[in-house]
Chain A
């Protein structure tokens, strides 16, 4: 009786078994790596905006406070995207005929807000409140990175749950004095271990890690 398979199938199947295992592991690792990379998270990737607004210029160059534009950050869940009128406070006077700012003037004339491309967005099933974080001594920089160095804005952190939990599980590693919340590039004057422990106590910071803190 003739053989059903050619003898080369012996080697093929051996390689197939080992290769299949390696391939499966490779695919799993590849997917995991991709999910953590900028490809998916968009971290460190600046995106086009209707007006090429530079935080670097406005914060670092001009010294504007975060709250000048993001007015509701201390009192509301949402930090607030400035209305065109805030831009026009200055730009009705300076660069008032720059072609780059034409969309801003158009928005001012027509009353239709600028359609900014959102960079930092948590999913809708996550409840996030800016004001409580600001009041408990979490700096803007902790989540948003060195905004004062961003010519165009990019995401500084992936906003994955694991990343949120890193701080919620150990707030003492990230907390800073309230008066330094809006400072960019703040460095603790003393050991963060000591400072953090003291501020956690002083600000009554709890390690809130149960599900319904964020998923309400």
Chain B
């Protein structure tokens, strides 16, 4: 996109506004709902949708072959029993975290700038969790028996192993998915009602009407809606921290060198938010351009996200440093060997690429010129996405491929089917996201109107205060 003259000008002099001036309630509502209801969709939408759909078909093909042949078609074997499936699970679930942080924590902290991006980020969370959830199910090898993971009164007399973090994962991720879905849906209700009221087509009115659950916008509705949103925000807030903590325990609870570290939970949570914000930027920057949403998702939103990416990225870098430091400080030969092997062993190029992506590139975000240049930001956010995937690759593979016993050492590489499934999950994500953009208002209209009221009221209040003085 082209950064307008006024946009870069305000950015350099003062903080950019949250909503560009010149809007009214009506114009904002119209702009948001017209994207879904009346405006033709840009060609870029169709291209991304079709690309996503094709990749999704590739995944269906890969999964079908997996069901026929079993997980032997993947690159995993002794000693690397965890491969792409776990890497992708951690990567996707991490990406989801930004959405929850934006929707829950920033709501509780009264951060006004969350308003234009929360709907979009929450949708991203849902789709990322959907992609993440697929991988452990496929990795079981017998996906039709996946209900064994859930404690239910069975005729086997079996119960999940509650001492295993893998079972905690099941609860963490399913809780996360349900709370995220609920939060997103409750937030959608008033806007679905708006869509129902504005839709010309009878079919669309019925569909939106059914999903709006009879929302009429009475004071009581709004009151209950607000209470429900706050409660759900309260429920979702601990999940921002807990879900990825539990995911990190999959590693940290084991005794494998490189995994058995107490820094893992905070380091994973920071990495999740870091990857998530990068993903929000990756998606928001082009979409805001396609649909001309620069008025609502202003350069200030983008810059704030860049700042959070930088802050969490630095925590992640600290994690890398501490991993290396603790390996040396522990005086444990296995830990030291692991770290040396990670940095100078067969996977060293991957490790240094990861350090370049997550440690070097993001330093550019210190500069305001970079933070307000959407083209560069888009590039950086893609690099961050790659870096975080490589990080999980390094964690999973380098610790496993050099076992305690040199006789069990081996190498790992993904097969065609690993890559097909991974690319396919990106396809699933893009497909769902494009459908979301097509059928659901991607910016929260009622929250935007509320924010507009808040911003304009304070200006008036200031004026009247001055007049009184």
Contacts and interface: CB of A to CB of B under 8 A. Distances in A.
Interface of A: 1, 4-5, 9-10, 13, 32, 35-36, 158, 160-166
Contacts of B158: 161
Interface in B13-34: none
Contacts of B157: 160-166
A90 B156 CA distance: 43
A4 B209 contact: yes
Contact of B155 (A5, A10, A35): A35
Interface string B182-206: 0000000000000011000000011
B465 interface: no
Contacts of B154: 162
Contacts of B153: 32
B469 to A, nearest CB: 47
A162 B197 CA distance: 56
B155 A158 contact: yes
B156 A162 contact: yes
Interface in B143-198: 153-158, 196-197
B156 A160 contact: yes
B333 interface: no
Nearest to A7: B214
Q: Please classify how large the interface on chain B is, using the bins under 10, 10 to 19, 20 to 34, 35 or more.
A: 10 to 19
Nearest to A162: B157
Contacts of B155: 35-36, 158, 160-162
A164 B158 CA distance: 11
Given A4-B205, A161-B155, 19 more contacts: A1-B197, A4-B196, A4-B206, A5-B206, A5-B209, A5-B214, A13-B214, A32-B153, A35-B155, A36-B155, A158-B155, A160-B155, A161-B156, A161-B157, A161-B158, A162-B157, A163-B157, A164-B157, A166-B157
A28 to B, nearest CB: 9
B127 to A, nearest CB: 26
Contacts of A160: 155-157
A161 B148 CA distance: 14
Contacts of B209: 4-5
A28 B106 CA distance: 40
Nearest to B197: A1
A10 B214 contact: yes
Contacts of A32: 153
Contacts of B206: 4-5
A160 B158 CA distance: 11
30 contacts: A1-B197, A4-B196, A4-B205, A4-B206, A4-B209, A5-B209, A5-B214, A9-B214, A10-B214, A13-B213, A32-B153, A35-B155, A36-B155, A158-B155, A160-B155, A160-B156, A160-B157, A161-B155, A161-B156, A161-B157, A161-B158, A162-B154, A162-B155, A162-B156, A162-B157, A163-B157, A164-B157, A165-B156, A165-B157, A166-B157
A123 to B, nearest CB: 12
A10 B153 CA distance: 36
Nearest to B213: A13
Nearest to B205: A4
A170 B153 CA distance: 20
B260 to A, nearest CB: 26
A160 B153 CA distance: 13
A166 B158 CA distance: 11
B84 to A, nearest CB: 27
A162 B159 CA distance: 11
